[in-house]
Chains A and B, each alone.
Chain A
Amino acid sequence: MDFRLTEDQRALKRGVRELLDRRFGRDALRAAVDGAGPAGAALDRELWRELGAAGFFALRLPEAAGGVGLGLPDAVLLFEEAGRALLPGPLIATHLAAGEVPGAAEGAVVVTAVDPSGLVEWLEAADVVLGRAEGVVPVRSVDPLTPLHRAPVSGGTTGTAETAETAETDPASREASLLTAAEQLGSAARTTELAVAHARTREQFGQPIGGFQAVKHLCAQMLVRTEVARVAVYAAAVTADPVEIAGARLLADEAATACARDCLQVYGGMGFTWEADVHLHLKRAWVRAERGLAGAAAEELVAASL
């Protein structure tokens, strides 16, 4: 048994990180945020095609079908990097549609999907919408880089039992949940990194604030949360077991939101400003946490397995 990443997987992760650094680094992120109007940001179609050319969407298609022929664990590493970079767009829906919707694999066609929660991301930017999108209304999205619409949901709220059942039986919905967890993991790792870097350099009372136990312990707990989520997400990618995926979602959602909050705390007043990236991580984490198998439904699914 060797749970660690293989050399190929490490290379894949490095490659994606380099690509995203080059094509969607901090300046591009801030430009996208600042360029976002009241209706939200515009999708960079050129970047989308570049992601397609790099195999982002075709990663799991067989080589005979023009894909890269890799598996779910590799996809998880890809989406972890996307989450880390706060890469915008309906990435998961397009990735899952590759091979089904012509053009999706190449990044020529943008695909979005109506989530079980009733939310639709990037509806206006998408060429193809999967699911029933009749009667959707725009939402003033909390995340400047995720435009949202909301479909009317019968009966007021979504049923957790129903969501849990879909998550258990529908492979696409399972994979969407897992890839969401991978994005959350990447974000949690990134905010941990940001907090630690800040704690090492920011001085107060004549010393780096990372020397104070109160700050140190916040950072230590961020790492613990991230690493626990990491093994949960990686293992779920290996087994593709619905209960394990639900558990990974729970831990990754918690890691992303709690680490972003703690990072904001370590940043202090600076963290509460629009200029710091912390709020972008927190807001995106909140949006992701509503997708697919969220919170109570995931808890119910794991409980039912006990």
Chain B
Amino acid sequence: MELACTDEEEEFRARLREWLAAELPGLPPKPDPLDWPARRAYDCGWQRRLYDAGYGHVHWDASPTQRLIFLEETERAGAPYVGANFVGLLHAGPTIAAEGTPEQRDRWLEPVLRGDEVWCQGFSEPEAGSDLAALRTRAVRDGDAYVVTGQKIWTSHAEAADWCELLVRTDPDAPKHRGITWLAMPMDAPGITVRPLRTLAGSTEFAEMFLDEVRVPVGNRVGEENDGWRVTMVTLSFERGTAFVGEVVACRRVLGELARTARKNGTWDDPVLRRRLGRLGAEFQALWRLTQWNVSEAQASGGVPGTGGSVFKLRYSHARQELYDTAAAVLGPEALDLAREWNQDRLSSLSYTIAAGTSQIQQNIVAERILGLPKGR
């Protein structure tokens, strides 16, 4: 039981910190969240800087502790997060790295790391959200291509993407988890129509995607035909295990700013609110420790995060919402002004208990896979 880093890890931290201090002042201003081309350029530009400095690979090639240090330091320095590269760096990339052929790894990983190509996620469908395996988008083999027809929804970053990690049904007669295949679909293929969806936060993070006889080469299949569910589970364990790590550091920073604001505007004198902030301090400290625990476990088990990610995600998604509700209590009437800091994040936080598996689904996962309770209703 120890929390200290090795000398090499501390060296890595020191070098990174120095690099960030030199690099960040030259960064262009943050783009308008509704301007996707600008966002793409900004996020890919940042990724390219990381790549050139030797940090491009850090999300899946570094040791889990190094990744933790990277996220801690970049957040602390106020550096950009993955942004439009979320799916490529934290989802499709790690999946291809783990499940792809050498040719596939050569083809797709480098452009993601260099910030040249952006990925989007084509998992959910109108009739298959939390019940992901109920998806109906069909892919029929025709020579050396799959012909894909169907509809996807909540396709994150579709507007900006070059590639889509797409789940399709290749065997409609098999049990629903068995007839699914994982494909890399080029977003410029004929037959794809993207229609942005506006979220309650006003942003266009995701879109509806209509697929009309889109041809995807068989060589773009990652894993075996009809084995896509297993491949997807690998992806999702990454999503739950490490994708939210950097945000915990960000939440701790927000909490500190919140306390400073409360001290300035007088709400700090309200003991109920003050203690609520104290409890949040304990909560986010523990979530940071839980992250370190999960990383230690992942490091010991060879890198793929385990079900501990579900425990983390359940608690974190609620804590994040509580943080921004508390921010609103500190702001008072200013909480209705979208130009005021944190209010946009308060709206965005509403998605956390829904996205990447709702809290209810996560509770089923914890109960069935960790506690061994029977499957049922």
A-side residues, CB < 8 A to B, are 1-6, 9, 73, 196, 199-200, 207-208, 210-213, 215-217, 219-221, 223-224, 227-229, 231-232, 234-235, 237-239, 243-244, 246-248, 250-251, 296, 298-306
Task: Decide if B275 touches A210 in the complex (CB within 8 Å).
Answer: no
C-alpha gap A250/B285 in the complex (Å): 12
Interface hit among B39-47, B54-62, B295-303:
B295-303
Task: Decide if A219 touches B367 in the complex (CB within 8 Å).
Answer: yes
Instruction: Tell me how many residues of B have a C-beta within 8 Å of chain A.
Output: 54
Q: Given A223-B311, A228-B290, A238-B2, A216–B368 Cβ distance below 8 Å?
A: yes
Return A241 CB to nearest CB of chain B, in Å: 10
How many residue pairs link A and B with beta carbons under 8 A? The number is: 173
Interface hit among B155-163, B181-189, B237-245, B276-284:
B276-284
Return B88 CB to nearest CB of chain A, in Å: 27
Q: Which of A200, A220, A299 contacts B278 (CB 8 A)?
A: A299
- Sample of 29 A–B contacts (CB below 8 Å): A1-B5, A2-B2, A3-B3, A4-B296, A196-B373, A200-B372, A200-B374, A208-B373, A210-B374, A210-B376, A211-B375, A211-B377, A216-B363, A221-B314, A227-B311, A231-B289, A234-B1, A237-B1, A238-B3, A243-B281, A247-B285, A247-B286, A250-B278, A251-B286, A296-B275, A298-B282, A301-B278, A306-B256, A306-B259
Chain B 243-275, CB within 8 Å of chain A: the 1/0 string?
000000000000110110000000000010011
Q: Which of B65, B68, B286, B364 contacts A231 (CB 8 A)?
A: B286
Return B235 CB to nearest CB of chain A, in Å: 22
Residues of the A chain whose Cβ atoms lie less than 8 Å from the Cβ of B274: 299-300, 303
Q: Which of B65, B277, B292, B366 contacts A223 (CB 8 A)?
A: B366
Q: Given A9-B1, A224-B311, A302-B282, A207–B367 Cβ distance below 8 Å?
A: no
Residues of the A chain whose Cβ atoms lie less than 8 Å from the Cβ of B286: 228-229, 231-232, 235, 247-248, 251
Task: Decide if B364 touches A216 in the complex (CB within 8 Å).
Answer: yes
Task: Decide if B377 touches A212 in the complex (CB within 8 Å).
Answer: yes
Q: Which of B68, B287, B368, B375 contacts A228 (CB 8 A)?
A: B287
C-alpha gap A93/B270 in the complex (Å): 35
C-alpha gap A247/B319 in the complex (Å): 15
**Residue in A closest to B318 when the chains form the complex, CB atoms:** A224
Nearest 4 A-B pairs (CB), nearest first? A211-B376, A247-B282, A303-B278, A306-B259
Residues of the A chain whose Cβ atoms lie less than 8 Å from the Cβ of B282: 232, 246-248, 250-251, 298-299, 302
Task: Decide if A224 touches B314 in the complex (CB within 8 Å).
Answer: yes
Chain B 303-328, CB within 8 Å of chain A: the 1/0 string?
00000100100110000000000000
Apart from A1-B4, A302-B279, A305-B281: 14 A-B pairs, beta carbons within 8 A: A2-B296, A2-B300, A3-B289, A3-B296, A5-B1, A6-B1, A213-B364, A220-B314, A227-B290, A243-B281, A251-B286, A299-B282, A300-B278, A302-B281
Residues of the A chain whose Cβ atoms lie less than 8 Å from the Cβ of B68: 1
C-alpha gap A277/B282 in the complex (Å): 30
Q: Which of A216, A299, A304, A306 contacts B373 (CB 8 A)?
A: A216
Q: Given A220-B371, A223-B311, A4–B297 Cβ distance below 8 Å?
A: yes
Residues of the B chain whose Cβ atoms lie less than 8 Å from the Cβ of A223: 311, 366, 370-371
Residues of the A chain whose Cβ atoms lie less than 8 Å from the Cβ of B299: 2
Q: Which of B256, B360, B362 contacts A213 (CB 8 A)?
A: B360
Residues of the B chain whose Cβ atoms lie less than 8 Å from the Cβ of A6: 1
Return A54 CB to nearest CB of chain B, in Å: 21
Return B301 CB to nearest CB of chain A, in Å: 10
Q: Is B11 an interface residue (CB 8 A)?
A: no
**Residue in A closest to B6 when the chains form the complex, CB atoms:** A1
Task: Decide if A224 touches B366 in the complex (CB within 8 Å).
Answer: yes
C-alpha gap A73/B1 in the complex (Å): 7
Task: Decide if A220 touches B367 in the complex (CB within 8 Å).
Answer: yes
Return A251 CB to nearest CB of chain B, in Å: 6
Q: Which of A4, A212, A231 contacts B300 (CB 8 A)?
A: A4
C-alpha gap A233/B324 in the complex (Å): 26
Return B65 CB to nearest CB of chain A, in Å: 5
Task: Decide if B366 touches A220 in the complex (CB within 8 Å).
Answer: yes
C-alpha gap A290/B5 in the complex (Å): 36
Return A131 CB to nearest CB of chain B, in Å: 27
Residues of the A chain whose Cβ atoms lie less than 8 Å from the Cβ of B19: none
C-alpha gap A5/B259 in the complex (Å): 35
Residues of the B chain whose Cβ atoms lie less than 8 Å from the Cβ of A2: 2, 296, 299-300
Q: Given A224-B311, A231-B293, A219–B371 Cβ distance below 8 Å?
A: yes
Residues of the B chain whose Cβ atoms lie less than 8 Å from the Cβ of A244: 285
Q: Which of B2, B271, B371 contacts A3 (CB 8 A)?
A: B2
Residues of the B chain whose Cβ atoms lie less than 8 Å from the Cβ of A234: 1, 289, 293
C-alpha gap A211/B299 in the complex (Å): 33
Task: Decide if B374 touches A208 in the complex (CB within 8 Å).
Answer: yes
Return A104 CB to nearest CB of chain B, in Å: 26
C-alpha gap A180/B224 in the complex (Å): 53
C-alpha gap A251/B284 in the complex (Å): 11
C-alpha gap A196/B371 in the complex (Å): 7
Residues of the A chain whose Cβ atoms lie less than 8 Å from the Cβ of B1: 3-6, 9, 73, 234, 237-238
Residues of the A chain whose Cβ atoms lie less than 8 Å from the Cβ of B341: none
C-alpha gap A217/B366 in the complex (Å): 9
Residues of the B chain whose Cβ atoms lie less than 8 Å from the Cβ of A243: 281, 285
Interface centre among A4, A9, A231, A243, by most B CB within 10 Å? A231
Residues of the A chain whose Cβ atoms lie less than 8 Å from the Cβ of B256: 306
C-alpha gap A4/B1 in the complex (Å): 5
Q: Is B212 an interface residue (CB 8 A)?
A: no
C-alpha gap A144/B60 in the complex (Å): 54
C-alpha gap A138/B181 in the complex (Å): 70
**Residue in A closest to B273 when the chains form the complex, CB atoms:** A303
Residues of the A chain whose Cβ atoms lie less than 8 Å from the Cβ of B375: 211
Return B317 CB to nearest CB of chain A, in Å: 11
C-alpha gap A306/B315 in the complex (Å): 21
**Residue in A closest to B282 when the chains form the complex, CB atoms:** A247
C-alpha gap A306/B275 in the complex (Å): 11
